[in-house]
Amino acid sequence: MTDPQIALMMLGIFIAFVFLGFPIAFTLMALGIGFGYYAYFDPSRMWRAYNRLAEDASWWDSTSLWIEGFYNNRIFDLFVNQTYTVISNEVLTAIPLFLFMGYIVERANIVDKLFGTLAIATRNIPGSMGVAALVTCALFATATGIVGAVVTLMGLLALPQMLRARYDHSFATGIICAGGTLGILIPPSIMLIVYAASSGVSIVRLYAGALLPGFTLVGLYLIYIIGRSILNPQLAPKPTKEEMPEVPFMKLAWMLATSFLPLALLIFSVLGSILFGLATPTEAASIGALGGIVLAVAYRAMTFQRLRESVYLTVRTTAMVCWLFVGSYTFSAVFSYLGGEHVIAEFVQGLDLTPFQFLIMAQLIIFLLGWPLEWSEIIIIFVPIFLPLLPVFGIDPLFFGVLVALNLQTSFLTPPMAMSAYYLKGVAPPQVKLTAIFKGVLPYCGMVIICMGLLYTFPQIVFALPEAFYGPSR
């Protein structure tokens, strides 16, 4: 077999192991080291000290030198260097800080007050509780960036209230599932940090580029919720005065000031300090982590147990992401060295695609990968395969990254592997069926596709803010 054929076999074995359920990070490292040992095998380098042994050398000397030669393969040097590269990457330093901010905010008892206040404030809007749930999900998802945490917590807090208000099961669950995934698109998104580290795109420009598409998607969701509530009021009945009594304006303003305003200020201070150049993403994430602690203390929700849980979850998630990076860097280096990347590039170029057709093909592949894989695995492992092809088709990696972030919304919403639906089913009342949740999320998949179509048609939605803040990209 030729080296490129071995590289493709390496990729095929990895995909097979993924579907068999092996841990992805350690599978990447094992395949990278295993195939890398073959790729970098050089007997003249590895056993040169062994060959200089005297004839009367002891068994211990010959055995130890042979073992030393066995491990004197450049794949181990590569593995150590890739590990050091990941650990010293300044962009990735922001990940544990943003994660810590999210886990602390999750435990600060903000969400229940926020949802209740927004439900009262929007009571005269059709589908008011749905609107309140989506806005709460968007704010909370932006602060945490953790889909499972947002969907689960909103399923415990908002879904029972919506069901008591006689909301249709599919309609109510679809709102929570779709709103919970927004955190991987709207800055400060951890997914965008991971993409920036993988692609070399400026995280600041990437955050600016993702803002308008994120708000566009939220706008489409709100139009759908309000529109369907007007066309079919039985889906989201208007609350009666007994269910939601009138609240004096000053009291409502105070409720908003103590629930909505603190979280919004925390998010905007973190994001604003990044976009306006007042702080690096890592410094802004530090501010966010401190702000999360202050909020938890202010809401009297800070305990040693909650702090301990937040630190533990932060370390666990960060370790998972970093080991994925180490495995991916090692795997991709060996894959490229064997010529696999060149084979894929030649194959794609041989299809004679237009830039638009290439984008459609790439996004379709990412959409399908979203069924069995998490977003972190797609961004770290598979997206780098497409990155070298972007200059060939004249596609800006910033634009591609925002499209990928938008596309990955569907990976959480598309049956039968819609993870947000399973997160919600785990905490939903027994009468809420999984089929009803699947039915509820499908319209939001359609709106994601509509939003992607808008970006294809009007790419300035992505480029407007980065160019306004930082000038045209070079």
451 shares a domain with 340: yes
162 shares a domain with 142: yes
Query: Which tens digit of pLDDT belongs to each residue from 148-174?
Result: 778 888 888 888 888 888 889 999 999
- For the chain, the average pLDDT equals 84
Give 56: exposed, middle or buried? Use CB within 10 Å, 0-12, 13-18, 19+: exposed
pLDDT value at residue 300: 83
pLDDT band at 474 (very low <50, low <70, confident <90, very high): low
Whether the predicted pLDDT of 374 surpasses 80: no
Residue 231 maps to a domain: yes
pLDDT value at residue 417: 72
Query: Which tens digit of pLDDT belongs to each residue from 86-136?
Result: 878 777 788 888 888 888 887 777 777 888 888 888 888 888 888 998 998
Which of 88, 106, 124 is at the close of a domain?
A: 88
How many domains is the chain partitioned into structurally?
Answer: 2
Is there a contact between 182 and 450 (Cβ–Cβ < 8 Å)? Answer: no
pLDDT value at residue 212: 92
pLDDT band at 462 (very low <50, low <70, confident <90, very high): very high
111 shares a domain with 68: no
Which of 21, 56, 88 is at the close of a domain?
A: 88
72 shares a domain with 124: no
229 shares a domain with 105: yes
Q: Which residues form the domain of 233? A: 89-470
429 shares a domain with 301: yes
210 shares a domain with 81: no
Whether the predicted pLDDT of 57 surpasses 70: no
pLDDT value at residue 91: 76
Residue 20 maps to a domain: no
Residue 23 maps to a domain: no
Cα gap 28→16, rounded to integer Å: 12
Q: Which of 125, 245, 105, 71 is nearest to 188 (CA)?
A: 105
E strands, 78-155, in order: none
Distance of CA 387 to the CA centre of its chain: 18
pLDDT band at 220 (very low <50, low <70, confident <90, very high): very high
Whether the predicted pLDDT of 55 surpasses 70: no
Residue 12 maps to a domain: no
pLDDT band at 318 (very low <50, low <70, confident <90, very high): confident
Which of 65, 88, 111 is at the close of a domain?
A: 88
Residue 230 maps to a domain: yes
* pTM, two decimal places: 0.84
Please name the residues in contact with 280: beta carbons below 8 A apart, sequence gap of 6 or more: 90, 274
Residue 29 maps to a domain: no
Residue 419 maps to a domain: yes
Is there a contact between 186 and 178 (Cβ–Cβ < 8 Å)? Answer: no
222 shares a domain with 80: no
273 shares a domain with 130: yes
Mean pLDDT of 138-150: 77
pLDDT > 70 fraction of the chain, expressed in percent and rounded: 95
139 shares a domain with 72: no
Please tell me the least confidently modeled range out of 161-170, 370-379, 436-445: 370-379
Cα gap 365→359, rounded to integer Å: 10
pLDDT value at residue 46: 67
Whether the predicted pLDDT of 347 surpasses 90: no
Please name the residues in contact with 128: beta carbons below 8 A apart, sequence gap of 6 or more: 119, 122, 236, 238, 239
Is there a contact between 195 and 401 (Cβ–Cβ < 8 Å)? Answer: yes
Residue 14 maps to a domain: no
pLDDT value at residue 1: 72
170 shares a domain with 73: no
Query: Which tens digit of pLDDT belongs to each residue from 223-260?
Result: 999 999 999 988 888 877 766 777 788 888 888 888 88
Q: What amino acid occupies position 310?
A: S
175 shares a domain with 62: no
